[in-house]
């Protein structure tokens, strides 16, 4: 997911009590959009988090992971928030296993099988009832849409908001940033990572469609944003067709069905909303680029991908996304929720 960049938090009271770490000499064992992961010892890792993410959100990632673990959500044990130079990090239990992302990249002939397995696992976790000390994902998404009110025409804003207003309430667990890089494969059942609270995504309670929308985001990015036939996604190393294959397999595993008609029906609901969220992120990026904001202009490789697309292309994609949403809504009946 494309993050919304925030200014570094001013919070410093907590940091006095924090343990301090250096990553000098530590082995780097992984990286995501917001964090770089180092092995500390045989039992723990240190996830150093991007300095754009405010400390309060980092503390929230730790707290949410801890609460989820205690409620039986399969995830790494989390320890304290620590200081690493002028950044912060979280200590987690070391899990000696591969993510679905790596496994998919290494076994491109097994997309169907791995996708289904991942779908089955996330469905199981989505059935877990959690309490209201967690965030309400629907409200967070609506708040995000409301923050974007002024960057869209009134009709487009209402159209996007309506897509999320109609999602039924649920008291079950939503990971919030579900993609193959955030699920580790274990022999006795997989595990979730990265219950981040980056300002863009969060774990909490809500209808399972929110996780399916997260899962579909890279497919939207890979398939709709890139007209080239031989495109390989920078995000997951899979081609356009492989990304589609992965989403289809994932949904078949998730809903435990081979019924293509059913899969197409749920896919339409999911892709509509994935597209809507993507349109918001892209519009922010386009505006930031237009304003030459340093977070995007000076950012590292991940920001470079966005930067290199150029302002015009970003705005074109926003319009194309909105157009697709309008066209889909014209031809369909009311929301179908599973
Ligand atoms: N507890 C852990 N044990 C082993 N590897 C981990 C652990 N946590 C993260 N990793 C590795 O680091 C990568 C990035 O971690 P993640 O928490 O997803 O960061 P980000 O918030 O940047 O996406 C993961 O895909 C995984 O390969
Ligand atoms: Mg991650």
CATH of the domain at 75: 3.30.200.20
Average pLDDT, the chain: 89
Q: Is the pLDDT of residue 6 over 60?
A: no
Residue whose CB lies within 8 A of the most ligand 1 atoms, among 43, 46, 99, 193, for a mutation test: 193
| More confident position, 17 or 62 | 62
- Which of these ranges, 110-119, 217-226, 275-284, has the smallest mean pLDDT? 217-226
Q: Ligand 1 atom 17: the closest Cα is on which residue?
A: 194
C-beta 195 within 6 A of ligand 1: no
Is 30 close to ligand 1, i.e. is its CB under 6 Å away?
yes
* 183 and 220 both lie in a single domain: yes
Residue 56 pLDDT grade (very low, low, confident, very high; cuts 50, 70, 90): very high
| Percent of the chain clearing pLDDT 70 (strictly above) | 93
Residue 338 lies in a domain: no
Q: Assess whether pLDDT exceeds 50 at residue 73.
A: yes
Ligand 1 in reach of 181 Cβ (< 6 A): yes
In short, whether 38's Cβ falls inside 6 Å of ligand 1 is: no
* Among the bound ligands, the one closest to the CA of 50: 1
Q: Answer whether residue 5 is part of any domain.
A: no
Could you please report the per-residue DSSP string of 249-292?
Answer: HHHHHHHT---HHHHHHHHHHHHHHHHHHHHHHHHHHHHHHHTT
User: Residue 3: inside a domain, yes or no?
Assistant: no
Residue 45: name the closest of 78, 2, 83 by CA.
78
> Which residue lies with its CA nearest to atom 26 of ligand 1?
30
- Compare 1 and 67 and report the one with higher pLDDT: 67
Task: Give all strands (DSSP E) within the chain, no chain letters.
Answer: 20-21, 27-31, 35-39, 44-49, 78-84, 87-93, 135-136, 173-174, 183-184, 191-192, 204-205
Q: Is residue 193 domain-shared with residue 298, that is, in the same domain?
A: yes
**Pair 209, 298 in one domain:** yes
Same domain, 171 and 33: no
Mean pLDDT of 177-181: 93
Task: Supply the residue whose CA is at minimum distance from atom 1 of ligand 1.
Answer: 94
Q: Which atom of ligand 1 is nearest to the CA of 193?
A: 17
Ligand 1 neighbourhood includes 37 CB (under 6 angstroms): yes
Expressed as residue numbers, the domain containing 244 is 100-330
Evaluate: CB of 29 within 6 angstroms of ligand 1.
Answer: yes
Helix axes of 260-290 and 311-330: crossing angle, nearest 10 degrees: 150
Residue 199 reports pLDDT greater than 70: no
Q: Which of 57, 76, 93 is the last residue of a domain?
A: 93
Q: In the listed set 93, 110, 129, which residue is the last one of a domain according to the structure?
A: 93
Residue 1: inside a domain, yes or no?
Answer: no
Residues 81 and 167 in one domain: no
Q: Which atom of ligand 1 is nearest to the CA of 76?
A: 1
186 lines ligand 1 (CB under 6 A): no
Asked if pLDDT for residue 304 goes beyond 80, the answer is: no
pLDDT surpasses 90 at 207: yes
Instruction: Indicate if 235 and 322 belong to the same structural domain.
Output: yes
Q: How far is the CA of 254 from the centre of ligand 1 (A)?
A: 23
Q: How far apart are the first and last CA of the chain?
A: 24
Task: State the pLDDT at residue 200.
Answer: 64
Positive or negative CA dihedral for 233, 124, 176, 44?
negative
Task: Say whether both 70 and 190 belong to one domain.
Answer: no
Please state the rounded mean pLDDT for residues 267-296: 91
Q: Are 184 and 104 in contact (CB under 8 A)?
A: no
Please say if the pLDDT value at position 63 is more than 60: yes
- 80 pLDDT above the threshold of 80: yes
Atom of ligand 1 nearest to the CA of 101: 25
**Alpha-carbon gap, residue 249 to 56, rounded angstroms:** 37
pLDDT digits 0-9 by tens, 226-239: 777 778 888 888 99
In a shared domain, residues 198 and 88: no
Provide the pLDDT for residue 99. 94
195 in the same domain as 86: no
Quick check: CB of 79 below 6 Å from ligand 1?
Answer: no
Instruction: Give the global pTM.
Output: 0.89
Q: The CATH number of the domain where 262 resides is what?
A: 3.90.1200
Within a domain: residue 6? no
Would you say residue 302 has pLDDT above 70?
A: no
- For 31-44, write each residue's pLDDT tens digit: 888 899 999 999 99
Kindly state whether residues 110 and 83 are assigned to the same domain. Answer: no
Considering the domain boundaries, does residue 77 fall inside one?
A: yes
Instruction: Name the domain count of the chain.
Output: 2
* pLDDT at res. 323: 96
Provide the sign of the torsion angle of the four alpha carbons 91, 114, 116, 33, taken in this order.
Answer: positive
Which atom of ligand 1 lies closest to the CA of 61?
A: 21
Residue 335, in any domain of the structure: no
Is residue 40 a contact partner of residue 46, using CB atoms and an 8 Å limit? Answer: yes
Interatomic CA distance for residues 236 and 246, integer angstroms? 11
For residue 3, pLDDT over 60 is answered with no
* Residue 336 maps to a domain: no
Our mutation pick for probing the ligand 1 site, out of 3, 27, 30, counting the most ligand atoms within 8 A of Cβ, is 30
Query: Confidence class of residue 96 from pLDDT cuts 50, 70 and 90?
Result: confident
Ligand nearest to the CA of 196: 1
Angle at 140 between CA 182 and CA 100, to 5 degrees: 10
Same domain for 180 and 58? no
- Same domain (yes/no): 185, 271: yes
pLDDT at 12 over 60: no
The pLDDT confidence band at residue 198, using thresholds 50, 70 and 90, is: low
Q: Which of 93, 113, 128 is the last residue of a domain?
A: 93
């Amino acid at each position: 997911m494309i993050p919304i960049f925030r200014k570094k938090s001013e919070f410093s009271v907590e940091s006095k009590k924090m343990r301090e770490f250096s990553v000098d000499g530590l082995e780097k064992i992984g990286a995501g959009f917001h964090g770089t992961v180092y092995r500390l010892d045989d039992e723990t890792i240190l996830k150093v988090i991007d300095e754009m993410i405010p400390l309060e959100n980092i503390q929230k990632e730790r707290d949410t992971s801890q609460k989820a673990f205690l409620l039986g959500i399969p995830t790494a044990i989390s320890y304290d928030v620590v200081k690493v130079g002028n950044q912060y990090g979280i200590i987690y239990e070391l899990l000696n296993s591969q993510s679905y992302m790596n496994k998919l990249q290494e076994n491109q002939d097994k997309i169907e099988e791995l996708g289904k397995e991942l779908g089955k696992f996330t469905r199981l976790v989505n059935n877990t009832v959690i309490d209201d000390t967690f965030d309400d994902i629907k409200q967070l998404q609506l708040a995000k849409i409301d923050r974007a009110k002024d960057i869209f025409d009134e009709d487009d804003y209402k159209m996007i908001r309506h897509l999320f207003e109609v999602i039924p309430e649920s008291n079950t667990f939503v990971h919030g940033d579900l993609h193959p890089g955030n699920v580790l494969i274990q022999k006795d059942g997989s595990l979730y990572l990265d219950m981040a609270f980056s300002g863009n995504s969060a774990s909490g309670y809500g209808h399972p469609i929110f996780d399916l929308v997260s899962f579909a985001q890279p497919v939207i990015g890979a398939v709709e944003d890139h007209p080239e036939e031989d495109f390989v996604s920078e995000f997951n190393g899979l081609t356009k067709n492989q990304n589609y294959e992965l989403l289809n397999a994932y949904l078949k595993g998730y809903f435990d069905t081979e019924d293509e008609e059913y899969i197409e029906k749920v896919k339409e609901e999911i892709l509509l909303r994935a597209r809507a969220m993507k349109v918001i992120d892209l519009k922010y990026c386009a505006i930031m680029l237009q304003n030459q904001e340093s977070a995007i202009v000076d950012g590292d490789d991940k920001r470079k991908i966005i930067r290199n697309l150029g302002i015009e292309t970003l705005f074109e994609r926003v319009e194309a996304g909105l157009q697709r949403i309008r066209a889909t809504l014209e031809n369909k009946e009311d929301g179908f929720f599973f």
